[in-house]
Amino acid sequence: MRLVTQTELMKLPEGALYARLYRPWVFADLCIKGDNVGSKDFYERSLNWVDANDSLEAVDRLDAMMEDSTLSFPVAQAYQREGLYEQDAHYLVYELEDVKLLVGELRQAYEI
Output the tens digit of pLDDT for each of the chain's 112 residues. Answer: 999 999 999 999 999 999 999 999 999 999 999 999 998 899 999 999 999 999 999 999 999 999 999 999 999 999 999 998 887 899 999 999 999 999 999 999 998 7
Whether residue 19 contacts residue 92, with contact meaning beta carbons closer than 8 Å, is answered with yes
Strand segments, DSSP code E, in 1-112 are 2-5, 17-23, 26-37, 41-46, 80-81, 90-93
Find out whether 93 and 9 touch, Cβ atoms under 8 Å: yes
For 15, phi and psi rounded to 5 degrees? 95, -10
Question: What's the pLDDT at 87?
Answer: 77
- DSSP 8-state code for residue 72: -
Q: Global pTM?
A: 0.89
Which of 103, 45, 35 lies closest to 74 in space, CA to CA? 45
Supply the pLDDT for residue 85: 84
Task: Give whole-number Cα distances, 29 to 10, 20, 41, in Å.
Answer: 17, 7, 17
